[in-house]
Copies of this chain bind each other. A is one copy, B any other.
């Protein structure tokens, strides 16, 4: 349906929250979840994914939490989506996965034209960073 998932939205909200304060400060998943009334467990997993992708850094232990690993203007929205969704934001299934995932791949006539939309969307999301959603 061409809509961002809640996970991505939650991730963006969290990233924006961190971008508001100065660099180096750590935020716990709990405080972010409370502030925006997000489901804690879900947000935690999202932040873990962002950690693995080196978008944020985590410090464990009792005074731990998350902090941005890059400057806000360096974090592309497209990278965030890709990380949280485990794949690129793709307009058509056959672009996201293999050529053999779509049963009508051979007969399909709109594949190439959709590639054009794909590229446009991609540059749209690449040129947008966390800096711009503050």
Using CB atoms and an 8 Å cutoff, list the residues of chain A in contact with chain B.
Answer: 1-5, 9, 12-13, 16-17, 35-38, 77, 81, 85, 89-93, 96, 103-104, 107-110, 113-114, 116-117, 120-121, 124-125, 128, 132-134
Contact = CB atoms under 8 A, between A and B. Distances in A.
Contact of A4 (B4, B91, B109): B91
B110 A9 contact: yes
A133 B107 contact: no
A90 B9 CA distance: 14
Contacts of A1: 5, 85, 89
Contacts of A92: 3-4, 9
Given A12-B110, A37-B104, A113-B133, 17 more contacts: A1-B5, A1-B85, A2-B90, A3-B93, A9-B108, A13-B109, A13-B110, A16-B109, A16-B110, A35-B107, A36-B108, A37-B103, A38-B104, A110-B133, A113-B134, A116-B132, A124-B124
